Amino acid sequence: MYKTIIISLLVLITVGVSGQDLDRLYNLRGDWKFFIGDKAEYAEKDFDDSGWEEIYVPRRWEREGFNGYDGFAWYRTKIDGDEFEKEGSHYLRLGYIDDVDEVFFNGVKIGFSGSFPPNYSTAWNAKREYRIPTQLIDRNGKNTIAVRVFDKGGEGGIYSGEVGLLVADAAYNEMYPLEGVWKIRTRDREEYANEVYDDSNWEDIIVPSNWKTIGIRNYRGFAWYRKVFEIPEGGKIKEFTLVGGYIDDFDEIFVNGVKIGETNDGKRIGRSRSFSELRLYDIPRNLLKPGKNTIAVRVEDIGDNGGIYAGPVAIVPSKIVTKFARDSQFWR
């Protein structure tokens, strides 16, 4: 329906979704284009929105004259390519949105929070911050941000918080970020670890996030996450470590079908502290290959919330993983 791809990570860029690590490049507070309704074409980069209303962001749409409206609406704005840095990882910060959103950059979905009807789940109190894949940026022209919003009741829209374009410290340019859109399924089968398993019919989820953000509530048991990413040709670094974020509660992680680590203290809910451990697993030499690679994560939740709930999530040169782990306290 909507144009969605699992982004291949074609370049070495940075991670970090925290004010400690991000410098603001461009303020997006102000008038955006706004339209009530819902069509797939509203996500497209070159869609003609000249006839749309203007609305101030961030502000609840009821306070902009759309009193009593519940349902779907779209926001659109553009950024010149020269506003982006030549290096570093760029992030789009959209504050808080009531209730559910999907965000498109130049026509490609880069993030979402909550679940749209018929499996509605609100994320009105979740801070929106989505990484912009470098290969999507048009540095010589206009770049389009399109935000699809659904409000079930009460006030709605992009209603508060910082709204802008940010860039991370380029000190981590030799790493492969894995945050963004993954696949998830709440079953447990060994074949889900296989490198070539077809997960195309699985549900999307943003990593990191709690799985209740996509409506998985009151669930104890297993779920699998999968993501395909790319390693460019000609890389000189041979030793990498997977930084797997914080996972509630237990995990096993596979890269290209090979298990590289697990965390499970074997304790029951209330006593287990596995959820509070940053996952750091060395990747065997030569396991990563130029081109497509697959990561699969088996997660077991023993109660309360579940999932890969906090970052950072990235493949990091082993030589900098100590500094990276030290700095990760700022990203929780």
Reading the chain (332 residues) residue by residue, the pLDDT tens digits are 433 333 322 222 223 343 335 677 899 999 999 999 999 999 999 999 999 999 999 999 999 999 999 999 999 999 999 999 887 778 899 999 999 999 999 999 998 888 899 888 888 988 898 888 888 999 999 999 999 999 999 999 999 999 999 887 655 566 788 988 899 999 999 999 999 999 999 999 989 988 988 888 889 999 999 999 988 777 667 899 999 999 999 999 999 999 999 999 999 999 999 999 999 999 999 999 988 999 999 999 999 889 999 888 999 999 888 877 776 554 44
Nearest partner of 85 among 14, 176, 34, judged by Cα: 14
Distance CA 223, CA 267 (A): 19
Q: What is the residue extent of each domain of the chain?
A: 22-168, 176-331
Q: What is the pTM for the complete model shown?
A: 0.66
**Side chain identity at residue 325, one-letter code:** A
Residue 216 has a CB neighbour count (10 Å cut-off) of 21
- What are the backbone dihedrals phi and psi of residue 75, each rounded to the nearest 5 degrees, phi first? -115, 145
Write the DSSP string, 130-163: EEE-GGG--TTSEEEEEEEEEE-SSS-EEEEEEE
What CATH architecture does domain 176-331 belong to?
Answer: Sandwich (2.60)
Please report the pLDDT score of residue 327 as a whole number. 65
User: Quick one: which of 157, 172, 136 has its CA closest to 17?
Assistant: 172
Q: Quote the pLDDT of residue 5.
A: 32
Copy the structure tokens of residue 250.
Answer: 């237990």
The answer to whether 181 touches 95, Cβ cutoff 8 Å, is no
Whole-angstrom distance, CA of residue 170 vs CA of residue 113: 27
In angstroms, how far is CA 169 from the centroid of its own chain?
A: 18
**Residue 19 to residues 196, 300, 330, Cα–Cα distance (Å):** 37, 31, 8
- Report pLDDT for 214: 86
286: number of Cβ within 10 Å: 7
Report the C-alpha gap between 243 and 87 in whole angstroms.
22
Residue (of 310, 325, 320, 248) closest to 280 by Cα position = 325
SS3 218: coil
In this structure, whether the domain defined by 22-168 belongs to CATH 1.10.10.10 is answered with: no
CA distance from start to end of the chain = 34
* Topology match between the domains 22-168 and 176-331: yes
